[in-house]
Amino acid sequence: MVEASFVKNSVVKARGPIICGFLGAYTARKAGVFSVSYNVRESTPEPDQAQLTANFLRNLDPKYTPV
């Protein structure tokens, strides 16, 4: 986890915690306007190393679009 600053035209537009290696923020807010959070709990059997690696690589793929 790191605190990232999102910059546009040399101006910081947003800050928020992100997970290293992933694109985008999972929690965000704009004071007095809105907030967004991503919270998923999946019930799956114990994942093996192949599944964990495949999921990690999928999330690094720039063409991947989460559903």
Cβ–Cβ < 8 Å for 21, 60: yes
Could you give the 3-state DSSP secondary structure of residue 57? helix
Helix ranges (H only) for 1-67 are 49-60
**Per-residue pLDDT tens for 16-67?**
777 777 766 667 777 788 777 766 666 667 778 888 888 888 888 888 877 6
**DSSP state, 4?**
E
Which residue in the block uniquely carries the two structure tokens 């959070």?
37
Alpha carbon distances (Å) from 40 to 5, 13, 37, 58, 61: 24, 26, 10, 17, 20
pLDDT at 9: 93
Structural domain boundaries of the chain? 2-59
Tokens of 14: 């947003």
